[in-house]
Structure 1
Amino acid sequence: MLVSRPGRAIDMTLAEALKRLEAAIGTLEAATMRRLETERRRGDLETELSLMQDDRARMAVELDGTLARLNNLEAVTEDVDKRLARATSVVGSILSEAGRR
């Protein structure tokens, strides 16, 4: 570096060092902001996962209840079907006997 005064060379070196320091601080601040944003998103994802797990547990309970009701309805339907078959048979027998008289 060509300068007429030795003090000016020191000033230039100091100015360049300050510029590099400012650039490094800017880079550090940007990295910090990215890290904070990543942590915020991570927290959002953890919250969303927790909500999804709660929903899953609730739906599992609802599904169990629905399956129990379905099994009960199937049993009732089978019972009604048997009763109707017996009633139809009895009515058929009565009509058949009445027709013979």
Structure 2
Amino acid sequence: MATDRTEAALGALRQAIAGLENAIDMRIELQRSHGEVEHEVRRVHADRARLAQELDQSQFRANRLEEVNREVSRRLVTAMETIRAVLDR
């Protein structure tokens, strides 16, 4: 009878240890996954910052090209008016 209780207690202890080992394994996997997610979030933030900087640079270039385009257009109008004035004489 004492042997049966001892065996039952040992069985319960084995089950508890197995449950604890499973919980530890799950926790380790969860931490590993969490670390991977944190790494991915950092990577996404770095990509976002890089893309924002590239967008700012592209916007600056687009604005500059627009200014140059307006200047070229103005000069072309002036040149055409000068040519017309010369031809009209």
Output the TM-score relative to the length of structure 1: 0.83
Output the TM-score relative to the length of structure 2: 0.93
2:41 matched to which residue of 1?
A: 49
Off by >4 Å, runs of 4+ in structure 1: none
Q: How does 1:22-61 map to 2 (within 5 A)?
A: 22-61=14-53
Greater RCO between the two (CA within 8 Å, min separation 6)?
A: 1
CA displacement 1:31-62 (0-9 Å, x = unmatched): 11111111000000111111111111111111
State the number of aligned residues: 89
Q: Which amino acid aligns with 1:31?
A: A
Runs (5+) with no aligned partner, structure 2? none
CA displacement 1:64-91 (0-9 Å, x = unmatched): 1111111111100000000011111111
Distance 2:9 2:88 in 1: 115
Runs (5+) with no aligned partner, structure 1? 1-8
Q: Please, which of 11, 22, 27 is the counterpart of residue 19 of structure 1?
A: 11
Pairwise CA RMSD: 0.9
2:69 matched to which residue of 1?
A: 77
| The structure with more radius of gyration | 1
Quote how far apart the aligned CAs of 1:95 are.
2.1
